Amino acid sequence: METGKDSVVIGNIPIGTKIGDGSVIIGATDGNGNTIINTPMAVGRGAKAGKESIAIGAFAGAGIENTNEVQAISNQVKKLWFEKPYGIIFLGALASLLAWAILHYYGFA
């Protein structure tokens, strides 16, 4: 059997099989020809799995937080208008106006 760089082989694979770089090959794991995978694992280049998950393939992910989605949401929040200088000035002016209106209503201004 020839295996390439970062390749993974699990189970019984025919003799003489050539496996390329970054490949994941899963053959039969029992005597009846069945492939049984029941243990949490991450198999493949850059694969990540949570403690109760199985991820198979290059950069596969299972049972983990998707950090790309979290980062995208964080970037969207940063772009909100109230986080920009003009938004902060607007909110400050609005708060001052509201405070003045309340004080005026109660006769303090």
Residue 81 has pLDDT above 60, yes or no: no
Q: Which residue, 24, 29, 21, is CA-closest to 8?
A: 24
Q: Which residues pair with 87 in a beta bridge?
A: none
Three-state helix/strand/coil letters over 85-108: HHHHHHHHHHHHHHHHHHHHHCCC
Q: What is the mean pLDDT of residues 68-87?
A: 64
CA dist., res. 40 & res. 32, Å (int): 22
Token pair 């993974």 is found at 8
pLDDT tens per residue, range 6-57: 888 888 988 888 988 888 888 898 889 898 888 888 888 888 888 889 988 8
CA dist., res. 78 & res. 32, Å (int): 56
Residue 107 has pLDDT above 80, yes or no: yes
Three-state SS at 43: strand
Residue 72 has pLDDT above 70, yes or no: no
Of the listed ranges 47-51, 56-60, 75-79, 103-107, the least confidently predicted one is 75-79
Full DSSP string of 16-38? T-EE-TT-EEE-B-STTS-----
pTM of the complete model: 0.51
pLDDT at site 96: 92
